[in-house]
Amino acid sequence: VRDTTEAYLIEKAKEIKAKADATENVRFATGVYFDKDCNNIHNAMKIADGKMYEDKKQFYAKHPELKKR
pLDDT one-digit tens code per residue, 22-34 = 998 888 999 999 9
Contacts of residue 35, defined as CB under 8 A and 6 or more positions apart, other chains included, come to: 43, 44
For the segment 2-55, what is each residue's pLDDT rounded down to a tens digit? 688 899 999 999 999 999 889 988 889 999 999 887 788 899 999 999 999 999
Give CA 42 to chain center in angstroms. Answer: 17
* 9 neighbors 32 (Cβ within 8 angstroms): yes
The DSSP 8-state label assigned to residue 65 in this structure reads G
pTM: 0.79
